[in-house]
Amino acid sequence: MTTVNRTTGTRPVNPPKAGPPRPARRRGPRRHTRRDIAVLCVLLGLPILLDLALVWGPTLASVALSFTTWDGVGDIEWAGFGNYADLFADYPQFWPAVRNNLLWLAALGLLATPFGLLLAVLIDRGVRFSRFYQSTLYMPVVLSLAVVGFIAQLVLSRDQGALNALLGRQDDPVDWLGDPDLNIWMVLLAACWRHTGYVMILYLAGLKSVDPELKEAAAIDGASERQAFFRVVLPALRPVNVIVGVITVIEALRAFDIVYAVNKGRNGLELLSVLVTDNIIGEASRIGFGSAIAVVLLLVSLGFIITYLVQELRGEQRR
Amino acid sequence: MVHSSGNGPGGCAHRAVRGVTRRSLLRGAAAGAGAVAVPALLTACGGGPGGGVTLGSNASDAVPKRAYADAFAAYEKKSKKDVKVNTVNHENFQENINRYLQGTPDDVFTWFAGYRMQYFARKGLLADISDLWREFDGFSEAVKKQSTGEDGKQYFVPYYYYPWAVFHRKSVFRTRGYEIPKNLDQYRALARQMQKDGLTPFALGDKEGWPAMGTFDYLDMRANGYDFHIALMRGEKSWTSPQVRQVFDLWRGLLPYHQKGANGRTWQEAAQSLQQKKTGMAVLGLPHPGQQFTAESRADLDFFPFPEIDPAFGQEAVEAPVDGFLMAKKARNRAGAEDLLAFLATPRAELIYLKSDPNNVAVNSGAGTGSYGALQKKAVRLVSGARQISQFMDRDTRPDFASTVLIQAIQQFIGDPDDIDGLVNGIERQKKQIFAAD
């Protein structure tokens, strides 16, 4: 996956420039005929056009709309930074949503991901019934997060949930999903439950591809098992690490389905994505205001994307 | 149907993010941030073959869906014209209504009376049916008012309604000797007594965000009157006014008698607790508790009007949301749509519907009550005795205000009833922004 997209992602800029100007000095294969150029133009042009039309067009439209008030019908009116001012000062759900998105990122990144790695290592080392564990732990990944949300409700409902029955707390039940101080942790637990399996499978695949000779060599050099893992195996897993990192960030930023299934993302379960939906998609149609929230989400995403791209490009230069 | 796009950034990003790479990261982020802001891409399918009428329905639950089908079948038989029904999931239908009406809507579609209809009439998305209304018979002035836009023209064909009231089980009241409370003091005393008897006085589930609105509406109308309540809903009164504070204060006094953890409970679970005799009373709409009661216990279900708070207003206002039909401005088959609407306004059409969905009551006074159950008859008496009829919080105010401010505010209040000051100030600030929008 990565390699395929890497070629489309970074190379497109080079070949056309490098091609035509100096064909004379090069030998045959590097020369671009008219036909090559036409093919290149089509192959590159189409994705670029699609990219502009489907990604950057809407993105810029969204940014522009965030400076207006518009209800989806009538006129679009300029509002300057009004939406942003309202958002930061007077929208009670905004800061909890930001906090929850960050919590989500922290939980997936600091708990679920390392735990998934641990499980992968354990299974890779061949504990008994490893196939069983592998399939069991991977099972939740097959479920959509919305389904995970419904399962969470069955287990955690205050009056009729399984957990309160198991704990014998029917007389003084814990309101797992209704208490705004508690429900985010419950939902995070469910999200981590699913994410762990995902990460585990990715690392398992990665670990299988690590050359055993590397570990042997490390052992011969006198490295302890711990050192061998952290100094040799983990760095060798770099491509997997990158993928896992990206997945974790994406999952944290796009988190939506599970809270929406639980209580529409209200009362302690606010997320930026939910606020965007509430304001834009619903009957509300506060498109300008919702776009402002979307832009905040975009900026947060861009922060991660840029950091990641910079790292990647630097890494490529070094290699 | 394309309506079912409801899940926004999650849905958009979901698709883009499956292949995990830098580019799809970019795309996912952009889709999440941008694509949802592109309006009017999602439109309904509409437009049947000439002659027939298309009808968009939000009746996605089995019982009302079948009831509507019966009514339309009766029309088809009578008029020899086709009705092509597009049924869409209830929530998705409401959420996409803006795009739906601006795209290619069906000729006729199901909707709600009151401000929630007037809002779209003001946007010029609905067809004026004042001519039809001149022929209509059997609708009260109050109902006509709810069917009329701010410009004085009629847009809405009312079909059925269901009043909100305080529901309870007759047997519980009988065996324990409870009296129907007439005013707030008796209401509180009854709640105290129930608590003493080991019963949770009020069932409450507000996970969906709307069920508790009914309690607010009644407290406000009883304490401050219908006119104040409606003015408040239309953004003309301040939420920081002493009247509104008083409503929350009254509610805070009653909250200890309510089920704990209402924000984590669905209204269905709340109604079930009433059925199981774990709770004594519940403020709900007519169709709600009945659906959760078993067939035997349904006859045991009863209600009384919300008690009086200020004698000046008594119990004169009743909350009775009316459901019905609208014609889209963009309707293609206008004549056919008008013919269908005229049929739907008749008592006969209403009774055909109610035969399969007896949880509501016909709006047309010409509809005979002979086939009604005891509860339905009582509901008719309640509403016909009402001096004013409110629709429900999310129908009496702007949709954006209800769904992005009030739902959250009421849930916040239920979770933390002591910070009324912060609550009403927050609502008022957001109200000013939203109502300033146009």
CB interface of A with B, residues 163-222, below 8 Å: 173, 175-180, 183
Buried b vs exposed e over B19-55: b needs ≥16 C-beta within 10 Å?
ebbbbbbbbbbbbbbbbbbebeebbbebbbeeebbbb
Whether residue B235 sits in one domain with residue B208? yes
State whether A90 and B415 contact (CB < 8 Å).
Answer: no
In the predicted structure, residue B395 carries a pLDDT above the cut 60: yes
Domain for residue B298, yes or no? yes
Please tell me the pTM assigned to this model: 0.80
Whether residue B264 sits in one domain with residue B365? no
Whether residue A110 sits in one domain with residue A259? yes
Share of chain B above pLDDT 90, in %: 63
Select from A55, A61, A74 the Cβ nearest to the Cβ of B27.
A55
Share of chain B above pLDDT 70, in %: 88
Whether residue B112 sits in one domain with residue B70? yes
Name the amino acid, one letter, at B330. Answer: K
Whether residue A131 sits in one domain with residue A239? yes
CA dist B132 → A111, B67, B339 (Å): 64, 24, 9
Please give the torsion angle defined by the CA atoms of residues B18, A197, A253 and A9, in that order, rounded to the nearest 10 degrees: -40
Look up residue B49 and give its DSSP letter.
Answer: S
Q: Tell me what the mean pLDDT of segment B409-415 comes to.
A: 94
CA–CA gap between residue B414 and residue B437 (Å, rounded): 29
Whether residue A146 sits in one domain with residue A35? no
Contact B160, B286 (CB under 8 A): no
Type and span of the H or E element at B407: helix B407-415
CA–CA gap between residue A175 and residue A186 (Å, rounded): 11
Whether residue B275 sits in one domain with residue B228? yes
Whether residue B100 sits in one domain with residue B119? yes
Per residue in B194-227, pLDDT (tens digit) is 999 999 999 999 988 899 999 999 999 999 999 9
State whether A267 and B408 contact (CB < 8 Å).
Answer: yes
In the predicted structure, residue B45 carries a pLDDT above the cut 70: no
Domain for residue A51, yes or no? yes
Phi-psi region of B248 (alpha: psi -120 to 50; beta: other; left: phi over 0): alpha
Contact B310, B327 (CB under 8 A): no
CA–CA gap between residue A104 and residue A273 (Å, rounded): 13
CATH code for the domain of B418: 3.40.190.10
Whether residue B119 sits in one domain with residue B101? yes
CB interface of A with B, residues 1-60, below 8 Å: 1-2, 5-6, 8-9, 51, 54-60
CA–CA gap between residue B30 and residue A59 (Å, rounded): 6
Select from A90, A176, A309 the Cβ nearest to the Cβ of B429.
A90
- Tell me which residue range forms the domain holding B427: 164-319+398-436
State whether A276 and B36 contact (CB < 8 Å).
Answer: yes
Antiparallel, parallel or unpaired: β B301-304 and B322-327 = unpaired
State whether A254 and B17 contact (CB < 8 Å).
Answer: yes
Per residue in A210-235, pLDDT (tens digit) is 888 888 888 888 888 888 888 888 88
Return the structure tokens found at A168. 């014998």
Q: How confident is the model at residue B32 (pLDDT cuts 50, 70, 90)?
A: very low
State whether A285 and B98 contact (CB < 8 Å).
Answer: yes
In the listed set A13, A48, A65, which residue is the last one of a domain according to the structure? A65
Whether residue A122 sits in one domain with residue A33? no
Name the amino acid, one letter, at B305. Answer: P
- Cβ-based neighbour number of residue B77 at 10 Å: 8
Contact A154, A134 (CB under 8 A): no
Domain for residue B392, yes or no? no
- Cβ-based neighbour number of residue A113 at 10 Å: 25
Buried b vs exposed e over B225-241: b needs ≥16 C-beta within 10 Å?
bbebbbebbbbebebbe
Looking at CA atoms only, how far is residue A158 from chain B in angstroms? 7
Whether residue B194 sits in one domain with residue B175? yes
Domain for residue B43, yes or no? no
State whether B37 and A287 contact (CB < 8 Å).
Answer: yes
Suggest the residue from B2, B3, B18, B21 to mutate for an interface test with chain A (most A CBs closer than 10 A).
B21
Size of interface A-B (CB pairs under 8 A): 240
Whether residue B216 sits in one domain with residue B177? yes
Domain for residue B46, yes or no? no
CA–CA gap between residue B186 and residue B117 (Å, rounded): 37
Residues of B in contact with A152 (CB under 8 A): none
State whether A159 and B265 contact (CB < 8 Å).
Answer: yes
State whether B8 and A276 contact (CB < 8 Å).
Answer: yes
Whether residue A120 sits in one domain with residue A52? no
Domain for residue B427, yes or no? yes
CATH code for the domain of A216: 1.10.3720.10
The domain total for chain A is: 2
Give every CB contact of residue B376 below 8 A, 6+ residues apart in sequence.
B286, B354, B358, B360, B361, B369
Domain for residue A238, yes or no? yes
CA–CA gap between residue B432 and residue A132 (Å, rounded): 58
Domain for residue A251, yes or no? yes
Give every CB contact of residue B114 below 8 A, 6+ residues apart in sequence.
B146, B321, B322, B390, B391, B395, B396
ipTM: 0.75
Select from A63, A180, A305 the Cβ nearest to the Cβ of B26.
A305
Whether residue B407 sits in one domain with residue B259? yes
So what's the pLDDT on residue B14?
A: 32
Antiparallel, parallel or unpaired: β B53-57 and B83-87 = parallel
Whether residue A155 sits in one domain with residue A225? yes
For B35, which residue in chain A has the nearest alpha carbon?
A58
Look up residue B276 and give its DSSP letter.
Answer: T
Please give the torsion angle defined by the CA atoms of residues B244, B245, B249 and B252, in that order, rounded to the nearest 10 degrees: 80
Domain for residue B45, yes or no? no
For A305, which residue in chain B has the nearest alpha carbon?
B26
State whether A266 and B8 contact (CB < 8 Å).
Answer: no
Whether residue A144 sits in one domain with residue A202? yes
Q: How confident is the model at residue B57 (pLDDT cuts 50, 70, 90)?
A: very high
Whether residue A111 sits in one domain with residue A217? yes
- Cβ-based neighbour number of residue A220 at 10 Å: 8
State whether A178 and B98 contact (CB < 8 Å).
Answer: no
Domain for residue A307, yes or no? no
The domain total for chain B is: 3
State whether B265 and A178 contact (CB < 8 Å).
Answer: yes
Whether residue A136 sits in one domain with residue A19? no
State whether B10 and A264 contact (CB < 8 Å).
Answer: no
In the predicted structure, residue B270 carries a pLDDT above the cut 60: yes
B84: which strand partners?
A: B54
**Alpha helix segments (H runs only) across chain A:** 2-10, 14-18, 34-51, 57-65, 82-90, 94-106, 113-124, 130-142, 145-156, 162-166, 183-209, 212-220, 225-227, 234-236, 238-254, 257-263, 272-280, 287-318
Per residue in A33-87, pLDDT (tens digit) is 889 899 999 999 999 999 999 999 999 999 999 999 887 777 788 888 989 999 9
Whether residue A110 sits in one domain with residue A18? no
For A277, which residue in chain B has the nearest alpha carbon?
B8
Whether residue B172 sits in one domain with residue B156? no
Q: Tell me what the mean pLDDT of segment B347-356 comes to.
A: 92
Q: Which residues of chain A have pLDDT under 50?
A: 1-19, 23
For B25, which residue in chain A has the nearest alpha carbon?
A250
In the predicted structure, residue B60 carries a pLDDT above the cut 80: yes
Q: Tell me what the mean pLDDT of segment B305-320 comes to.
A: 94
Choose among B303, B14, B335, B328: nearest CA to B167. B303
Whether residue A51 sits in one domain with residue A106? no
Residues of B in contact with A277 (CB under 8 A): 7-10, 36
- Tell me which residue range forms the domain holding A17: 2-65
Whether residue B194 sits in one domain with residue B259? yes
So what's the pLDDT on residue A177?
A: 86
Residues of A in contact with B121 (CB under 8 A): none
Whether residue B302 sits in one domain with residue B195? yes
State whether B14 and A254 contact (CB < 8 Å).
Answer: yes
State whether A256 and B8 contact (CB < 8 Å).
Answer: yes
Domain for residue A81, yes or no? no
CA–CA gap between residue A96 and residue B188 (Å, rounded): 36
Select from B9, B264, B399 the Cβ nearest to the Cβ of A179.
B264
For A59, which residue in chain B has the nearest alpha carbon?
B34
Q: Does A64 touch chain B (CB under 8 A)?
A: no
State whether B400 and A284 contact (CB < 8 Å).
Answer: yes
Domain for residue B102, yes or no? yes
Choose among B387, B195, B206: nearest CA to B284. B206
Q: Tell me what the mean pLDDT of segment B78-85 comes to.
A: 90
Contact B34, A264 (CB under 8 A): no
Residues of A in contact with B95 (CB under 8 A): 281-283
Domain for residue B1, yes or no? no
State whether A180 and B263 contact (CB < 8 Å).
Answer: yes
CA–CA gap between residue B194 and residue B179 (Å, rounded): 11
Phi-psi region of B82 (alpha: psi -120 to 50; beta: other; left: phi over 0): beta
B282: which strand partners?
A: B167
Whether residue A108 sits in one domain with residue A170? yes
